[in-house]
Amino acid sequence: MKVCSYIKNHKTERIIAGFAVFAGAGLLTSYGLLLVINTVTSLVSGTSMLSALPFTNTIADFFLAAFYFLASAILFLAGFSLVEAYYGGAVLAGIFGVCLLAASILGTVNSPLGFTAAILCIIGTSLGLLEQRKSPATKTLASVVIEKMAKNSLRILALIAVTSLIFVIAVIVYRGSSYISWSFLTNGLPLGGFQEVDLILEGSKSGVFGIGPALLGSLLVCGTCELICIPLGLGSAIFLAEYAPESAFTRVIHFFVELLSGVPSIILGIFGYTFFTFEFGWSQRSLLGGAICLVFMTLPWNIRVAEEAIKAVSEDFRAASYALGASKLQTIRRVVLESATPGIMTGMLLGFGAAFGEAAVAIFAAGDPQAPFPSTTNIWMFLTGYQMPTLPAWIYGAFRSLDNKTAFWTQEQNVAFAAALVLVAIFLAVTITALLVRNHLNKKLTAT
């Protein structure tokens, strides 16, 4: 109904001109989508089921598809501006039409596709310019059309982002779901590690190939990280939001917090790899070393989220608490923190998810993916004297080792996709838990 009313409110000439350009954009979008499907099919099965790929390099094929999607998005906006009688779109569609016509003649793009899309764009441009000459007074205000074009551009960008995420998850699920089993989640590597390629294909059946120690190691490293990070982050946030006045000192603290959040994780990993070994005599990779490096990475996140949640609490709550005779500490503990709990908990859970998926710190500071799980009863040695395998390091090790042993995109690497699927599932579970906890606490606070 909305489409019918929209068409009735616009002149027929503008509708025809705009939809001619829409048709050209649709052709480019269809070809780009066909190219993506064909490329993914080639990656998964090794054969091109729909048509021959333009390039032998996968990245080049994806970039070509992205070019078609970008061109079609611009043409959609040009067609929309023609329908709205903003004739800058006619000029844009005309330029694209001439360029596509030249590219199709020279054989740079698919000739039938480029020629057809070029003719449609030129037709739309011609009709739009003729309609402008007939009724120049009906031109829509430029600000109105630009506002609508900006809104539609944001919709297109959001659609591209969501589609890309779905595409990545779909590939991971397709490649790795067949290996997911209880034995894969609980068992470790064989004695030969990733080099036992002959055991990989039977790993999900025989139970000799799994991520159990790496999964447990990630939980221990990230759990230790949160035990250190939560008190430090929450205490720093309370100090900055409630006790520290706005001064040069607090600005310096905020500056260094932001600076720490921008430090690349690989630098933190190398720091843990060398500093704890030479200064404290720990193993070059250890559970506590990896956890402390993750603290440096997630601490700025926890401080900023907790500080903003505390500052978002209404001053009226504080004033009411002081009026009832509560001290500042009692007000912070019983009023401010309880009101800020949803934001603080959400930040902590999302920080845990980010730490769980961190690869550089896990590889350099925590442990080798093929290292055995520590079996000592000495707690200090367990924390500092042995390498701790982690799931991100396991995924990296699987790809690196199997790429050296076999051809890329072979079935053996499905175990790495299976581990990646487990990692994605854990991150999604943490994210959904954070949302549920926030909603539950918000309802609880609203009800009281």
Q: Which domains does the chain have, with CATH numbers?
A: 2-177 (no CATH), 186-447 (1.10.3720.10)
pLDDT of amino acid 408: 45
Lowest mean pLDDT among 48-52, 74-78, 241-245, 279-283: 48-52
Instruction: Summarize the chain as % helix, strand, coil (round to 5).
Output: 80, 0, 20
CA dist., res. 139 & res. 157, Å (int): 28
Q: Which amino acid is at 123?
A: I
Output the six-digit token pair for 122: 């030129």
- Is the per-residue pLDDT at 90 higher than 80? no
* Closest to 121 measured CA to CA, from 139, 86, 95: 95
Per-residue pLDDT tens digits for 128-171 = 777 666 555 445 555 666 677 677 777 777 777 787 788 788 87
* Closest to 73 measured CA to CA, from 158, 157, 186: 157
Half-sphere exposure of residue 116: CA atoms within 13 angstroms, side-chain side: 13
Give the DSSP H or E segment for 96.
Answer: helix 88-106
Q: Residues of 197-219 as b/e, b for ≥16 C-beta within 10 angstroms? A: eeebbebbeeebbbbbbbbbbbe
pLDDT of amino acid 195: 66
CA dist., res. 222 & res. 298, Å (int): 10
Mean pLDDT of 54-78: 72
Output the six-digit token pair for 306: 């907790």
pLDDT of amino acid 38: 73
pLDDT of amino acid 111: 65
Per-residue pLDDT tens digits for 417-435 = 888 899 989 888 888 888 8
Mean pLDDT of 405-414: 58
Per-residue pLDDT tens digits for 292-315 = 888 888 888 888 888 888 888 888
pLDDT of amino acid 302: 86
Three-class secondary structure of residue 284 per DSSP: coil
From residue 398, alpha-carbon distances to 212, 409, 416 in Å are: 14, 12, 6
DSSP H stretches of helix in 107-247? 111-134, 142-176, 182-186, 197-200, 203-206, 212-238
Predicted structure pTM score? 0.70
DSSP state of 193: G
- Is the per-residue pLDDT at 318 higher than 80? yes
- Is the per-residue pLDDT at 201 higher than 60? no
Q: Which amino acid is at 99?
A: C
Output the six-digit token pair for 392: 């991100």
